[in-house]
Amino acid sequence: MELVIGNKNYSSWSLRPWLLLSHFDIPFDEIKVLLFEENTHQHLAEYSPTFKVPVLIDNDITVWDSLAICEYISEAYLKGKGLPESQSDRAICRSYCAEMHSGLEFLRTAMPMNCRASRRVHLDDKTLKDIHRVDGMWQDALNRHDGEWLFGEFTIADCMFAPVASRFATYQIDISDTSQQYVDRLLTLPSMRRWYESALKEKEVIGEDEAGTDID
Ligand SMILES: N[C@@H](CCC(=O)N[C@@H](CS)C(=O)NCC(=O)O)C(=O)O
């Protein structure tokens, strides 16, 4: 099985399925396509019907789009354990994933994932509203479940929000203690540490994703 991803420093969508596969020790080969280079489109055309990453190639099955890939991995390799056991939790977990996937655009735009950076960005009202929303969602899920993760056990929802945890660390965002502890847990996961180790070795700079000013 091959997972095609972008630059680890920047590609938040790539991190999501990569984390699910890595956390559950599912064997896969990683193919990295550097984004925003002269030949990126040409390289992506070899793998991706959308010319975007991530893409999962499992023999004759090609799955694209981070959330669809996570759902496929859960079904094909985890006997459904990528989602919570109870039907009601599964429904809410899917809502969390979908909201992350299609919403929170002000947060995503103002605070691009940038693993190597330590920055301050201007947070306008809309971005603050998104931050507040995420903090509230996290507190709500964490308070409702025993265990370390949003829905108790580690699920696709934790993968979907991992890049937000990374952004909150990069831009030093103030959140509740409960959410901050969750961020710390996510970022110190062995698989997240491995992602960061590789991200920090990358030298490429994508100007579009370099937001804010450095914190000394
Ligand atoms: N909705 C897609 C978004 C994928 C996406 O935008 N990927 C970016 C990198 S993080 C990409 O491939 N950009 C390359 C390009 O647009 O040329 C998903 O969830 O996978």
Count Cβ atoms below 10 Å from residue 120 Cβ, excluding itself: 13
Two tokens, residue 171: 């831009």
Ligand 1-lining residues (CB < 6 angstroms): 6, 11-14, 35, 40, 51-54, 65-67, 101
User: What is the whole-number distance in angstroms between the Cα of residue 54 and the centre of ligand 1?
Assistant: 7
Range(s) within the chain of domains with CATH label 3.40.30.10: 2-80
- Extract long-range pairs of 127-132: CB within 8 Å, 24+ residues apart: 130/104, 130/105, 130/106, 131/107, 131/168, 131/173, 131/175
* 87-194: CATH number: 1.20.1050.10
Q: Please give the C-alpha separations between residue 150 and each of 3, 49, 76, 106, 166, in angstroms, as whole numbers.
A: 25, 32, 22, 22, 16
Give alpha helix (H) positions in 122-216: 125-144, 156-170, 177-187, 190-201
The ligand 1 atom at the shortest distance from the C-alpha of residue 13 is 10
Instruction: State the greatest distance between any 2 C-alpha atoms of the chain, in Å, as a whole number.
Output: 49
- The C-alpha angle 213, 120, 195, rounded to 5 degrees, equals 95
Strand partners, 9: none
Could you read off the pLDDT of 176-203 as tens digits, one per residue? 999 999 999 999 999 999 999 999 999 9
- DSSP designation for 206: -
Helix (H, G, I), strand (E, B), or coil: what is residue 11?
Answer: coil
What is the model's pLDDT at position 50?
96
User: What is the whole-number distance in angstroms between the Cα of residue 25 and the centre of ligand 1?
Assistant: 24
The ligand 1 atom at the shortest distance from the C-alpha of residue 35 is 14
Give alpha helix (H) positions in the chain: 12-23, 40-47, 66-77, 87-102, 105-110, 125-144, 156-170, 177-187, 190-201
What is the model's pLDDT at position 155?
98
Could you read off the pLDDT of 4-24 as tens digits, one per residue? 999 999 999 999 999 999 999
Please indicate, yes or no, whether the overall pTM of this predicted structure exceeds 0.85: yes
Ranges in the chain, pLDDT < 70: none
User: If you classify domain 2-80 with CATH, what class do you get?
Assistant: alpha beta
Q: What are phi and psi of 28, to 5 degrees?
A: -160, 155
Probe residue for ligand 1, chosen from 34, 52, 71, 202 as the CB with the greatest number of ligand atoms within 8 Å? 52
Range(s) within the chain of domains with CATH label 1.20.1050.10: 87-194
What is the model's pLDDT at position 216?
72
The amino acid sitting at 149 is W
The ligand 1 atom at the shortest distance from the C-alpha of residue 40 is 17
Give residue for tokens 């990126």. 40
The length of the chain is 216
